Amino acid sequence: MDAVPPPTGVGLPTMNSFSDKAVEHESHALHWDIDSIVAQLRSLRMAAPGRRFGDRPAKLPSQKALAGILDGLSAALFPNRLGLPDLTNEGVDYFVGNTLDLTLRELLEQVRRELQFSAALESNPTEIRETAIAITREFASQLPAVRKLLESDIRAAYQGDPAARSVDEVLVCYPGVTAITHHRLAHVLHGLGAPLLARMIAEVAHSTTGIDIHPGAQIAGSFFIDHGTGVVIGESAIIGERVRLYQAVTLGAKRFPTDENGAMLKGNARHPIVEDEVVIYAGATILGRITIGKGSVIGGNVWLTRSVPPGSNITQAKNRSEAFDDGGGI
């Protein structure tokens, strides 16, 4: 007997029909009301405090570009260790020159972006570019001095850590050296009038190493941060020669003064001064515009809010010598 076909338009549901209904249901369930959200976000952007550029916002410097700039500068400063692996003696200078040229051109664009972002809308683009060129040129001229400081920092790390087997190991492995390298470069830019770029460079180091150094901090040579995670150094801190810090040290502010309207005052000197040859052990917290005298040793986990004279040895309260076994001494 021949099979009788089902009536037209009637039959069992197919997999495709189930799939189509599922997609239709999911599409209805995943309706995000995006048009309304976009409109609300636009209103919030337009009403944001301090908005200056209307519908023509200036481009901020690029963190991705800055990461490449830092790689280029590091390679130019230490080409035999952080540059190409197969450099010859004859090719080093060419590599350094070419790397610097490419890197400084990219840095110029990032400086220009910061200046444009910080300037008024009607600022002259030609004037901004000329200022950016001057800043970048002066930054480049200070690179030899930065290299000299970094050599003293690397030497201090090698001499200060018995686990260090070579200065090369210190350069490529130690987070404290990475952090101070970024800081030396950021500090120059901060002083030349590019504080946003400087802060972004500091945050690259912070995210990589766990060490947070404000680019405004003044740090002399032969500086060593051992281990490093959790170290915080504030904007107005001043650190002398041959200072050594360990992990989780804070050089911070004790209080934040405000004006008559309650707004926080910015730019005042509020962080410690650490004189030459000071050692600060893990977990110490030093707050306020106080001075740690030359050659002092600050013990682990000390909380310090007063100045100490040169040669001080500040520790937590010493353990008592009495024994309390089986209730004895109570």
102: left (phi over 0), alpha (psi -120 to 50) or beta: alpha
Distance separating alpha carbons of residues 78 and 82, to the nearest angstrom: 6
Residues of the chain with CATH 2.160.10.10: 217-320
Give helix 143-160 / helix 175-192 axis angle, nearest 10°.
150
Distance separating alpha carbons of residues 294 and 296, to the nearest angstrom: 6
For the whole prediction, is pTM greater than 0.85?
A: no
**Mean pLDDT estimate for the chain:** 88
**Structural contact between residues 251 and 272, judged by C-beta atoms closer than 8 angstroms:** yes
Residue 329 has pLDDT above 60, yes or no: no
Distance separating alpha carbons of residues 306 and 132, to the nearest angstrom: 42
The CATH code of domain 217-320 reads: 2.160.10.10
Task: Summarize pLDDT for 122-177 with one digit per residue, the tens.
Answer: 578 899 999 999 999 999 999 999 999 999 999 999 999 999 999 999 999 999 99
**Structural contact between residues 183 and 205, judged by C-beta atoms closer than 8 angstroms:** yes
**Structural contact between residues 212 and 233, judged by C-beta atoms closer than 8 angstroms:** yes
Give the number of other CB atoms < 10 A from CB of residue 282: 17
Confidence band, pLDDT 50/70/90 cuts, at residue 89: confident
The CATH code of domain 59-210 reads: 1.10.3130.10
Residues of the chain with CATH 1.10.3130.10: 59-210
Distance separating alpha carbons of residues 33 and 55, to the nearest angstrom: 24
- The pair phi, psi for residue 250, each rounded to 5°, is -120, 125
Residue 26 has pLDDT above 70, yes or no: no
